[in-house]
Amino acid sequence: MKVETYTIKGWEEKETGLLIDENEDWILVKHIPVDYVIDGYRLYRKNTIQKRKSKSKEEKIARVLRLKNIEIKAPSTFKFTNSIDILRWCEQQYGLFEFQDTEASLFYGKLSSATDHIFIIDMIQPDGSIEKQYNYDFLPSDIVSITFETDYFESIRLLMNDELRKGSTLLKI
């Protein structure tokens, strides 16, 4: 079991996670937002990481997580791919995705359209409403992290599904 802290280009706060797996482009962790709390999964793009460390603080966290019997495994259908395919996977699994860009701005959405070089999302607002074809062209290379199964992610998903249900009820009247 290995816990690491990451310094990411352009982000003020460091990120900590329980290392699950990695490939040449991505690191998959169980996210540790504070102390010994695990909150979902996070993928970090390797080329945005300035520094990785695992010292005494991280070793202490790993010890506590071992004592808590935290599982170290990826979701069963997860595979490392490119940014767009990972977003598609998240959307297929959960109905939406969450990502952060180089400015650490947070976005929830569904893919509206995508190529290898640019994508447009239907933006999911904090109240669960969906803004169709959010007026911004994203670059896949600007994605720094992709997150899923956090408490907040699940809350946004519940709100979105409730809004969609209410909308379909309104349409039936």
Do 23 and 92 fall within a single domain? no
Do 62 and 132 fall within a single domain? no
Do 30 and 106 fall within a single domain? no
Asked whether the predicted pLDDT for residue 138 surpasses 70, the reply is yes
Do 65 and 38 fall within a single domain? yes
Asked if residues 28 and 20 have their Cβ atoms less than 8 Å apart, the reply is yes
Amino acid at the residue 82? N
Question: For the residues 66-77, what does the mean pLDDT come to?
Answer: 91
Q: Residue 19's domain spans which residues? A: 1-73
Residue where one domain finishes, among candidates 38, 73, 108: 73
Q: Cα–Cα distances in Å, from 152 out to 100, 108, 113, 133, 158?
A: 14, 11, 25, 23, 10
Convert the pLDDT of each residue in 91-110 to its tens digit.
Answer: 999 999 999 998 888 999 99
Question: For the residues 59-72, what does the mean pLDDT come to?
Answer: 93
In the chain, how many domains are there? Answer: 2
Do 59 and 99 fall within a single domain? no
Find the CATH number of the domain harbouring 38. 2.30.30
- Longest CA pairwise span in the chain (Å): 61
Distance CA 126, CA 160 (A): 9
Q: H helices within 30-116, ranges in order? A: 56-67, 83-94
